[in-house]
Chains A and B, each alone.
Chain A
Amino acid sequence: DAGITQSPRHKVTETGTPVTLRCHQTENHRYMYWYRQDPGHGLRLIHYSYGVKDTDKGEVSDGYSVSRSKTEDFLLTLESATSSQTSVYFCATRTSGGPADTQYFGPGTRLTVL
């Protein structure tokens, strides 16, 4: 358990509304990741961060932005939510990003966009 919390755990919102999901970690891990999980698609990487203010895009980054102003917090923002963004979102962390490092996951946020 790498001390990862996500908030909120559940959210229902309407199309066109901005939404921010928060990931908080207590282990001082350098790398943080946002994934979405959908039936038939497994886990897909949205964005990741390799340090404070250092972020990069994943495979499904359109419609999402991220920010990391402190080591412990990684925010995911949907600027204008759409129904296709209904999903379960997972945050994850890794220590140094080396190939043998374990990736730790948060409990997830279930987002429904009506």
Chain B
Amino acid sequence: GNSVTQMEGPVTLSEEAFLTINCTYTATGYPSLFWYVQYPGEGLQLLLKATKADDKGSNKGFEATYRKETTSFHLEKGSVQVSDSAVYFCALAQGGSEKLVFGKGTKLTVNP
């Protein structure tokens, strides 16, 4: 079945450091891929998405590229801020299924 594996956290960085959170997936066909972010005490919200191979999703300085050959969708940001501290979830959606498949989440803490 479909699955998403993302790097385990927690991840702790200093402000202005480079961020990478790895995400790989298993799916048949061509799923859509998502990154969601959950700030403390809130629900999840969409950060970015990509719907086909080689697409790059971007938002708020975050980027992720849909790599079909490596079945990956790694999240990157060149310079993190304290306000980026949150839990990040990678997810996929398969055509013909109404359900998203989520990774277990990676907690990021950014220190000043």
CB within 8 Å of A: which B1-58 residues = 31-32, 34, 36, 42-46, 49, 51
A74 at the interface (CB under 8 A from B): no
Interface residues on B, range: 20 to 34
Name which residue of chain B comes closest to A45, CB basis.
B99
Interface residues on A, range: 20 to 34
For the complex, give the distance between the alpha carbons of A31 and B100 in Å.
12
Give the residues in chain B near A99, CB-CB below 8 Å.
31-32, 51, 93-95, 97
For the complex, give the distance between the alpha carbons of A104 and B43 in Å.
9
Q: Which of B44, B49, B89 has the largest number of chain A CB atoms within 10 A?
A: B44
For the complex, give the distance between the alpha carbons of A33 and B43 in Å.
13
Give the residues in chain B near A58, CB-CB below 8 Å.
99
- Stretch of A14-22, A35-43, A76-84 lying at the B interface: A35-43
For the complex, give the distance between the alpha carbons of A104 and B89 in Å.
14
Give the residues in chain B near A40, CB-CB below 8 Å.
104
The answer to whether residues A94 and B98 also contact, given A99-B32, A108-B43 and a CB cut-off of 8 A, is yes
B32 contacts A100, C-beta separation under 8 Å: yes
The answer to whether residues A103 and B51 also contact, given A42-B105, A43-B89 and a CB cut-off of 8 A, is no
B98 contacts A105, C-beta separation under 8 Å: no
The answer to whether residues A105 and B44 also contact, given A43-B102, A45-B99, A97-B98 and a CB cut-off of 8 A, is yes
Name which residue of chain A comes closest to B102, CB basis.
A43
Give the residues in chain B near A4, CB-CB below 8 Å.
43
Give the residues in chain A near B46, CB-CB below 8 Å.
102-104
The 5 closest A-B pairs by CB, nearest first: A105-B43, A42-B104, A97-B98, A99-B93, A99-B32
Residues of B within 8 A of A (CB): 31-32, 34, 36, 42-46, 49, 51, 89, 93-95, 97-100, 102-105
